[in-house]
Amino acid sequence: MKRFAFVSCMGILAFASANAQEFSRYTFDVGGGFTMPAGSTSNDRDPGWNIRAGAGYNFSPHFGAVLNLGYDSLGISSTSLIPNGATGGDVNVFHATIDPVFRLRAKGRLNFYLTGGGGLFHRYKEVDFGSAPQLTYTVNKPGFDVGGGLEYGVFGHSKFFSEAKWEHMFIDSPIHMDFIPVSFGFRW
């Protein structure tokens, strides 16, 4: 009887260990795409582009956490520039957020996931006035993001992903900046 209990316990532990190894504990991703201004931000910003990178840890096949780094570049619309005598300008946002990830279907090649979190946002705004000196303005403020995406298994643990997030940067009440980066890339 003792031998049966010992063999049974060892079998359960071996099964649990093998089952736990079916997914990768560590995750890394890199991607890029386009960024659209949202809400009141779309009144004075033009669409732009983004690049993304992340690293994280999967606690289970369905739940993980990722440190995301992102850079978004948006133009300043001509309707905002011309009345102020400016000839050009852009707004660049770098952000680092910690985002939980909830995978709705962890098995199979196609997976849908939800994500969102918060962190620090750094905005750099530059406006050109032709021959006059450029006007620059920087600010560091908190912000958050929420979104989702699709992952498609390519081979092994590597996946192609596409995701969209709503990103919100608090500036000074009631001023804020909203934008939606749509990114495509690879995740390992």
What confidence tens digit (pLDDT) does each residue in 10-19 have? 544 444 444 4
pLDDT value at position 8?
A: 52
Note the pLDDT of residue 13: 46
| Average pLDDT over the chain, rounded to an integer | 88
CB-based contacts of 143: which residues, under 8 Å, 6+ apart? 95, 97, 118, 119, 120, 121, 167, 168, 169, 170
Structure tokens belonging to residue 50: 């983004």
Residue 23's pLDDT is 76
Helix residue ranges, H only, 48-146: 78-81
For 63-115, the pLDDT digits (tens) are: 999 999 999 999 998 888 877 788 889 999 999 999 999 999 877 789 999 99
In the chain, domain spans: 24-187
- Decide if domain 24-187 falls under CATH 3.40.50.300: no
- Residue 130: the pLDDT is 80
